[in-house]
Amino acid sequence: MVRRIPVVALLVGILLVLAAPPAGAHALVRRSDPPDGALLDQAPRRVTITFTEAPDSSVSVVHVLDSSGRDVAAGKAVPQPGNPLTLVIPMGKVGQGVYTVTWRVVSRADGHVTAGSFSFGVGVSPAGAPTPVVAGSSSPSPSPLAAAGRWALYAGLALMLAAGVVGLVAFGGKAPPGRFVVVSWALAVAGLVIMAVAERNAVGASLARFVHSAAGRALIRQGIGLAVAGLAVLFLALRPGRTSLWALAGAAAGAMLLHAEAGHAAASPRYSWLDIGAQWMHLVAVGIWVGGLVWLLVGTRGREGTERAVAVRRFSTLAGIALIAVAVTGLQRAISEVGWPTDWRRLVDTGFGLTLLIKTAVFVALAALGARNRYVNVPRVGSAPGGISALRRTVGAEVLLAAGILAITGVLTQLTPPATLAAAAPRARPPANVVATGSDFATSVRVRLTVTPGSPGPNHFEARVSDYDTGAPVPATGVQLSFALPGRPDLGTPTLDLSKESTGMWAAHGTVLSMDGRWDVSVLVQESSNAVTVPLTLETRLPAERIRTIPGSNGQPTIYEIDLLGGASLQSYVDPGTAGRNTVHFTFFQGGGSEQPIAAAMATALPPTGAMTELHLIRFDAGHFGANVTLSPGAWRFEIHASTQNQTMYSAYFTERIP
């Protein structure tokens, strides 16, 4: 019967490995609305952030900051009803500008802290967001205090579990010395206390808030588990025997289950019970194997001859079964947290993977020593002189390696698994483009024109022609685009003939968008029996720039600071910034803060009507220009192109909404 146990364990392990789902651990951002880098026409009413695992909103903090660092969120972050992975942050009434969302959340599953930020713009390119303290998503470095606490907890639980199991299996129901078991329990309690202190420091919450958080409640549950184990230790001290050994082993295994429920395994997005079960089996198997080595050293003292040889052989068999369970459940957890073999490059690309490789190497060395004991030293115990001494030396080396594995595990549990990083990795954004849609006067044909990248110069034009009512592709025989820029009749009306890609889809490359502005586009759709014209309006894109907006107050205008090449910058503002007569100011600065002399400059204004006009610049100083302009209500975009004496070229733009 005993010989069948390894086979059964191996079969169960194979099933666990094949069923391993990808695990999540650490709450990293999966997506957000608005997304990172979005440019919005209107301010959002709320910001939503979806994480890879559920955050604990009671101790998590999210801020929405404007360019001056002021928090413009209208309330605290709360979970989205029916979706615990998503936090919702209500927004107050805000104007144009760049907004940075910073977050610091605590995972509800495993209590780990992560932080990060992203930005979006309202009427202003988000490329101008000031550099945040924490960019993207990040997790704090492993805490030495937390690692020490985990090591003590693992070691104490392993010793208590092994005291019960090894006492029952190897030593015929005889309990180990009571003082050693008490020390094991005290070690586990000390470890849990240290973990609680480290977790509270990481969360940064008051004691009352921490106790009521998910991480605090998980630690309290583990404390209750250790209290039950303490009662089992007391029972063993008062009534040593098989019953008390069973009670001790059961209490220690229960405490391990509570710990597994508060770790990486609990963050699995699907079948968390499978990951928790595998993690619990892994902890139990490690406890029996590693903790049993210590009790083997202690238990063989004072035993001689046949009794000692029988105990050693029984433990060797038990350790072999535990070794198989450790290997199989460890493989299941590795696949869950790293990925299938096709993803094993993550083992050398991430800190988690490298730490796991180190742990695996130590495990292999430990298994090699165990094999030497099994096949060389164990047969010599009781039959050859010096057999027990050789066994003790090898077991002593195993104990040292096992202590190292527990220390590595204490660090590993604080790192973000690669599977979680992959789930949170930013997806490649599609190429930037400009889209215009419209229909003919009779509303019979609809055209969707996509221009990539949508900036002045070479572009790819793609027109989707469909029936206005049914949406079915229109079997056109030809599609031609003609362009006109209001206010610039000198550019003429260039045309571009599109080629048929498929039914209803036409495309071509061209440079007809020669200048920035709002272009009038006329789409001529030629059918077999007639032709229709679809008018569109298309506004070109400008390249992203880093811009900081300093809101005006008490009659002072809003100031726009734009980063330029070589550390230079441009400071612009519209005075007074209301409908009517205004002066637009442009001042160039060198990296050191002094004014940058400009040899030549040209500026334009793009009004809400789309008819771009050139501004008459007045030089106030070597690098300071102004232009008088009459502004109507709406969004105005101002551009300036300048050069220095050494032909360094500067280009910048900003948009201001005139009330």
Same domain, 264 and 127: no
Number of H helices, E strands in the chain: 14, 27
Same domain, 364 and 313: yes
Q: Is the pLDDT of residue 623 over 90?
A: yes
DSSP string, 266-296: GG-SS-HHHHHHHHHHHHHHHIIIIIHHHHH
Per-residue confidence band for 376, with pLDDT thresholds at 50, 70 and 90:
confident
Q: Across-strand partners of 448?
A: 437, 464
CATH of the domain at 114: 2.60.40.1220
How far apart are the two ends of the chain, measured CA to CA in Å? 86
Burial string for 12-34 (b: 16+ CB within 10 Å, else e) reads: ebeebbeebebbbbbbbbbebeb
Query: In the prediction, which pLDDT does 25 show?
Result: 44
Domain boundary among 113, 138, 163: 138
| Cis amide linkage into residue 453, ω under 30° from 0 | yes
39-40 and 113-122 strand pairing? parallel
CA 57/CA 81 separation, integer angstroms: 13
Same domain, 410 and 461: no
The answer to whether position 8 is within a domain reads: no
- Residue 78 phi, psi (nearest 5): -130, 150
Which residue has better confidence, 414 or 626? 626
Quote the mean pLDDT of the chain: 79
Average pLDDT over residues 533-559: 82
Same domain, 76 and 219: no
The least confident of 65-74, 464-473, 587-596 is: 65-74
Which SS3 state, helix, strand or coil, does residue 347 take? helix
Same domain, 268 and 397: yes
CATH of the domain at 232: 1.20.1630.10
Domain boundary among 539, 573, 590: 539
Same domain, 80 and 217: no
Same domain, 380 and 250: yes
Domain interval for residue 166:
142-418
Domain boundary among 120, 138, 156: 138
Which SS3 state, helix, strand or coil, does residue 494 take? coil
Total tally of structural domains belonging to the chain: 4
Which residue has better confidence, 384 or 163? 163
Q: Is the pLDDT of residue 132 over 50?
A: no
Per-residue confidence band for 8, with pLDDT thresholds at 50, 70 and 90:
very low
The answer to whether position 386 is within a domain reads: yes
The answer to whether position 587 is within a domain reads: yes
The least confident of 25-34, 240-249, 522-531, 543-552 is: 25-34
In percent, how much of the chain has pLDDT > 90? Answer: 17
What does the block give as tokens for 145? 């205090």
- Mutual angle of helices 144-169 and 214-238, in 10-degree steps: 30
In percent, how much of the chain has pLDDT > 70? Answer: 83
CA 195/CA 205 separation, integer angstroms: 15
Query: In the prediction, which pLDDT does 587 show?
Result: 95
The answer to whether position 195 is within a domain reads: yes
Which SS3 state, helix, strand or coil, does residue 577 take? coil
The answer to whether position 78 is within a domain reads: yes
Same domain, 176 and 124: no
CA 477/CA 531 separation, integer angstroms: 10
Same domain, 252 and 193: yes
Same domain, 156 and 289: yes
Average pLDDT over residues 101-116: 76
Which residue has better confidence, 41 or 269? 41
The answer to whether position 366 is within a domain reads: yes
Contacts of 466 (CB under 8 A, 6+ apart): 445, 446, 447, 448, 472, 473, 474, 504
Query: In the prediction, which pLDDT does 303 show?
Result: 63
- Residue 99 phi, psi (nearest 5): -125, 135
* Structure confidence by residue, pLDDT tens digits, 178-191: 788 888 899 889 98
Same domain, 128 and 95: yes
Per-residue confidence band for 629, with pLDDT thresholds at 50, 70 and 90:
very high
The answer to whether position 4 is within a domain reads: no
Same domain, 147 and 132: no
* Structure confidence by residue, pLDDT tens digits, 283-334: 888 888 888 788 777 777 766 667 777 877 887 888 788 888 888 877 777 7
* Structure confidence by residue, pLDDT tens digits, 427-481: 445 456 788 999 998 889 999 999 988 877 788 999 999 999 999 999 999 999 9
The answer to whether position 121 is within a domain reads: yes
